[in-house]
Amino acid sequence: MTFAELHIDRVRRAFGDTVALRDLDLTIKGGEFVALLGPSGCGKSTALNCLAGLLPLTGGQILMDGKRIDTLPPERRGFGMVFQNYALFPHMSVRRNVAFGLSMRKVARADRERRVDEALRLVQLTDHAKKFPAQLSGGQQQRVAIARAIVLEPALVLMDEPLSNLDASLRIEMRTEIRRLHQSLGLTTVYVTHDQEEALALADRLVVLRDGLVQQIGSPEEVYAHPANRYVAGFMGYRNLLSVRVSSSDDGSATVTGEGFTLAGVNRDGLSEGEAVAAFRPTDVTVAAEEGDNTVRASVEVVEYHGREQAVEARLPSGEALHVRTESRLAPGDDVLFRVPRERVLVFAP
C-alpha cells in the first residue's frame, strides 16, 4: 500500500490552554524522507503522534490521496512507527515482535514467515531471532524496532527520535543504516529529531519547528545555506548571533554595528534600520593579521582541542561570546583580531 500525496492540512493540537502544534501545513510525496526538526517542546513529536493517530487533532485534517485519515484509529491507518524507547514487547522473542503486525493483519503463516525472515535479514538480526529484547544491545533493539515497523511495508514510516538512546558511534552507524533502508525500500518516512546533523544527513526535506510553528521547509541545502530566520540559523550551526544595529543598507547587503565593531553582511530580512542580529558560523571566522573590513576584537577565554582545529570561545567588549573554530593556535587571555567574510554574515531581524 502506498500513496502519491499525504496532505497535512492546518493540523492543530492543544493540551488544555497550551498549543503544542499550530496549523501545520505540509504535503508529503510518496517515497519522500521528511525530517521534523526542532528542540524539545517544539511540537515535532506531537505532530508525529497526530500522524500516527495516537493523539486526536484539535483542528485541521490529514488527507491521504484526498481521503481523510485523521478520523481513523491508529490500528486502521497502516503506518509503521519506531518509538524513541523502541517499545519492543518484552515477553515476545525478536521473531514474534517482528511478526506481530503480520499476525494482527491475519497474514497467512507461510507468507508471514517469509516476510519476517526478509525483514530480519535486512536489519542483520537473523541470528538473534530467538532472543528476547532484554538480551539485545541498544543498537540491536533499535534494529528490531525498525524491522517490526517496516515488515508491514507501511504506507508511511514514523520515527520518533529513534537514535537518541544510542551512544555516539552507534548513532552514526544506525543513521547510515536507516538511510540505506530508505534508499532500498523507498518507504515514505517522517523522522523526528532534535539533532540537525541527523536531519541533514537523512532527509530529503526538512521541516524546522519552534513553539509549534513551522519556521522553514526546504531541502537540506536550502535550510543549511539559507536559513529563513535567526532561529533556524541558530539551529543550523550559526552559533554566533550578535545583537547589532543596522547603520546602513542597500538591496542585498547591510552594514551593522555592535559595541566596538562594524560588520557588513547579507541583508536577509530587508532591514533598513534598527535592531538586528548578525549570524555567522564559528568555522567562518578566521584570525586576522591587521585591522580592516569585518574585523572584530575579542579576548580568548576557553580553548578546546579538536585535533586539527581548536574550538575557541572569546569575549567581545559587549560581553557577548564569540565562537570560533580555527586552525590557529590560540591561548586563553590572548587578545585576538578576528575576521568574518562579509558573504558569510547573515543579518536577520531580531
Partner 1 sequence: MTATIEKPVVTQDKPSLKHRLAERGVDRTLLLVLPGLLFVILLFVYPVLYGLQLSFQPKEGGGLLANYTKFFSDPYLFDTIWITLRLAVPAALINVLASIPIAYRMRGRVRGKRLLTTLFVLPITLGTVLTAEGLIRYLDPTGWFNKVLALFGADEPARLVHNYTGVLLSLIISGFPFAFLLTLSYLSGIDPTLEQAAATLGADWRKRFRHITLPLLAPGLAITFCLTFVLAFSVFPSAYLVGLPQGETRVMSIAAYESAFRDFDFPLGSAIAMLMALVMLVVIGLVLVWRSTLYRGSTGGKG
**Residues at the site binding partner 1, with contacts judged by CB under 8 A:** 52-54, 73-81, 83, 85, 87-91, 100-101, 104-105, 132, 134, 148-149, 152, 158
Query: Which contiguous run of DSSP H or E holds residue 341?
Result: none
Query: What's at 281, amino acid-wise?
Result: R
With respect to partner 1, which residue has the nearer C-beta, 10 or 91?
91
The span from the CA of 262 to the CA of 241, in Å, is 14
With respect to partner 1, which residue has the nearer C-beta, 150 or 214?
150
With respect to partner 1, which residue has the nearer C-beta, 84 or 247?
84
With respect to partner 1, which residue has the nearer C-beta, 80 or 265?
80
Report which of 284, 334, 333, 324 is spatially closest to residue 304, judged by C-alpha positions.
324
The span from the CA of 299 to the CA of 97, in Å, is 57
Minimum distance from residue 62 beta carbon to partner 1 (Å): 15
With respect to partner 1, which residue has the nearer C-beta, 152 or 181?
152
Q: How far is CA 128 from each of CA 114, 183, 252, rounded to the nearest angstrom?
A: 16, 25, 59
Asked whether 262 and 295 are in contact (CB, 8 A), the reply is: no
Minimum distance from residue 190 beta carbon to partner 1 (Å): 13
φ, ψ at 327 (rounded to 5°): -85, -15
With respect to partner 1, which residue has the nearer C-beta, 10 or 109?
109
C-alpha cell of residue 148: 517490526
Going by C-beta distance under 8 Å and a sequence separation of 6 or more, which residues neighbour residue 42? 209, 210, 211, 212
How far from the centroid of its chain's Cα atoms is residue 112's Cα? 34
Minimum distance from residue 59 beta carbon to partner 1 (Å): 22
Minimum distance from residue 8 beta carbon to partner 1 (Å): 18
Minimum distance from residue 315 beta carbon to partner 1 (Å): 43
The span from the CA of 150 to the CA of 141, in Å, is 14
Query: What's at 250, amino acid-wise?
Result: D
With respect to partner 1, which residue has the nearer C-beta, 104 or 225?
104
With respect to partner 1, which residue has the nearer C-beta, 178 or 340?
178
Work out the angle at residue 106's Cα, subtended by the Cα atoms of residues 103 and 112, and round it to the nearest 5 degrees: 60
With respect to partner 1, which residue has the nearer C-beta, 83 or 224?
83
Minimum distance from residue 172 beta carbon to partner 1 (Å): 25
Going by C-beta distance under 8 Å and a sequence separation of 6 or more, which residues neighbour residue 50? 11, 13, 21, 56, 57, 62, 70
Query: What are the strands, taking DSSP E only, across the chain?
Result: 5-15, 18-29, 33-37, 59-64, 67-68, 79-82, 156-160, 189-193, 205-210, 213-218, 240-249, 253-258, 261-267, 274-280, 286-287, 295-306, 309-315, 321-326, 335-339, 346-348
Residue 8 half-sphere exposure, CB side, CA atoms within 13 Å? 24
